[in-house]
Amino acid sequence: MRVRRRGRSKRVYSRRSSGQGLGRQLLAALIAESEAQGMWTLQAGIFPENTASLRLHEAAGFRLVGRREKIGQLRGIWRDTVLLERRSRVVGATPAAATDAISAG
Per residue in 12-59, pLDDT (tens digit) is 555 555 667 888 999 999 999 999 999 989 999 999 999 999 999 999
Count of structural domains within the chain = 1
Q: Which domain holds residue 72?
A: 41-105
Q: Does residue 28 form part of some domain?
A: no
Q: Does residue 20 form part of some domain?
A: no
pTM here is 0.70
Domain harbouring 55, CATH code? 3.40.630.30
Please say whether the beta carbons of 41 and 5 come within 8 A: yes
- Cα torsion angle, 12, 21, 102, 66, sign: positive
Q: Which residues contact 89 (CB under 8 A, 6 or more apart)?
A: 61, 97, 98, 101
Q: Does residue 66 form part of some domain?
A: yes
Helix (H, G, I), strand (E, B) or coil at 57: helix
